[in-house]
Amino acid sequence: MKKLIGLILLIAGVYLCYVGNQHRHSVAGGIDSATTTVANKVSGDPHVTDATWYFVGGGVLILIGAVSLLGGRKK
C-alpha cells in the first residue's frame, strides 16, 4: 500500500510540474510574470508567480513519492 501511495504522489508531482510549465509558457503566465516583476520593483517585497508554486508543490510531491518508493524499511 505504501508503494502505491508513493507512486501516486510521484505521478501527481510530475503532473504539477507539467501544469506549471504549461502555465509559465502561456499568455496568462506571461502576464503573471510581468505583473510579478513590476510588483517586485514597486514594493521591494519578493513576489512569486503561480507557476513557481506549481513547481514547488510538484517538487515536494516528487520527493515524498520517491522517498516512499525507495526508502522502505525491511523487516
pLDDT digits (tens, 9 = 90+) for 5-26: 999 999 999 999 999 999 989 9
C-alpha dihedral over 56, 57, 58, 60, to 10 degrees?
Answer: 90
Residue 75 lies in a domain: no
Residue 53 lies in a domain: yes
Specify the number of domains making up the chain.
Answer: 1
**28 within a domain of the structure (yes/no):** yes
* Helix locations, 1-75, DSSP H: 2-24, 27-43, 50-70
Q: How far is CA 53 from the centre of its chain?
A: 5
pLDDT band at 53 (very low <50, low <70, confident <90, very high): very high
- Residue 55: domain span: 2-70
Structural domain includes residue 24 = yes
Are 51 and 21 contacting, i.e. CB atoms less than 8 angstroms apart? yes
Q: 15-19, 26-30, 54-58: which range is least confident on average?
A: 26-30
